[in-house]
Amino acid sequence: MGEFAAVDVIRAKRDGHELSDAQIDWVVDAYTRGVVADEQMSALAMAILLRGMTPREIARWTAAMIASGERLDLSSVTRPTADKHSTGGVGDKITLPLTPLVAACGAAVPQLSGRGLGHTGGTLDKLESIPGWRATVSNDEFKRQLQDVGAVICAAGEGLAPADRKLYALRDVTGTVEAVPLIASSIMSKKIAEGTGALVLDVKVGSGAFMKDLAAARELATTMVRLGRDSGVTTVALLTDMDIPLGLAVGNAVEVAESLDVLAGGGPADVVELTLALAREMVAAAGVDADPAKVLESGAAMDTWRAMIRAQGGDPDAPLPVARETEALRATADGVVTAVDAYGIGVAAWRLGAGRARKEDPVSFGAGVLLRVKPGDRVTAGDVLLELRTDEEGRIPAARDLAAAAVTIGEAAPARAGLVLDRIT
């Protein structure tokens, strides 16, 4: 690998030039090894944000991030593998019912998940509200559980795309999180390195999503699908609506409880709809012949959930944590709920203690928001619109203001498009 001066690579991108394969390979490797300093990578990340990257550059950058660590070899797993990645939203607990459902259909689901930051929740935080459950598994345990149970949800090991871990933390504090080439390569380097054969991307669009508008979400989805395909992973993306929270529960333990309702054959219609839409995509991409709706109805997905939780030390029968303080927010007038703003509800849940401001912050497992209404519902003055839950009473006032502003009551609710806005292949 040739040696370059970091400042020359920064200048090249700053001036709008295309970086060579050799430059990209060197800078990602040198940054991982600590030869390129944080301030230099910060400058390069900002140049990438402002100048963009060609598809060739993004593909090479992703390959360099994968090459910074190990690639899992899942060839010992006899079932076809399929994974899902969501770009994050409010009430987005879909991984919880989806993973055991797809496994019960006959695929193996190697689900490497993350923690929440800001207003979007993290799958690992939700699962850690189950007594005894642990997020960390060794590579050998990961493969064994995939073979035996068919599903594993865990934290990515230290060895997978270490360049990404370093760069992710840096982007967070330098205002470069929004760069599409860096988002796409961050997500796809981990997913390709984990060794899955098929991948379905759930790219959220709307107020509670990272991507607020359809064009930006489509660009990201198209970029990631191309990266997956070029790496030999069957990849499909769905663009899905995140203007209103998914389901009725936003938090950690409350979202686990709602996921269990779905696995038991109930649960909110939108959560069931999106779980089934993604499950159909995953089984098709993996080449498995099964009808997820029938498998869900049979109770097989619940059996797989229990086996998956138990395999990682959790007790599927243990009661979930419940917050100490509860406050109901009531309608002040008669009318129809016209909007429930996902971002406002997400930030309210975060203020109640369900999320974290910094990576090292703890989360409160019982905290969150329980919605009692969705857009289109008719309400009378005095009806409960939502419930705030927290372990610290002092957190309620700020959350109350946010949550109250998030629910709009008017004459009639506007017509809404379906949950799935587009499909990118």
Closest CA to 221 of 269, 174, 134, 281: 281
CA angle 162, 49, 237 (to 5 degrees): 70
Token code pair at residue 147? 């073979």
Cα–Cα distance measured from residue 335 to residue 412, given in angstroms and rounded to the nearest whole number? 8
Q: Residue 263: beta bridge partners?
A: none
Task: Give yes or no: 190 in active site.
Answer: yes
Q: Are 348 and 396 in contact (CB under 8 A)?
A: no
Closest CA to 369 of 271, 269, 245: 245
Active-site residue identified among 13, 85, 165, 389: 85
Q: Looking up tokens 């498998």, which residue turns up?
A: 295
Q: Are 390 and 349 in contact (CB under 8 A)?
A: no
Helix (H) or strand (E) holding 125: helix 123-127
Closest CA to 98 of 319, 327, 292: 292
Task: Give yes or no: 171 in active site.
Answer: yes
Phi, psi of 161 (to 5 degrees): 45, 60
Active-site residue identified among 68, 186, 189, 207: 186
Active-site residue identified among 13, 93, 190, 372: 190
Active-site residue identified among 164, 241, 243, 270: 164
Task: Give yes or no: 395 in active site.
Answer: no
Closest CA to 97 of 315, 403, 384, 304: 304
Residues classed as catalytic: 85, 164, 171, 186, 190
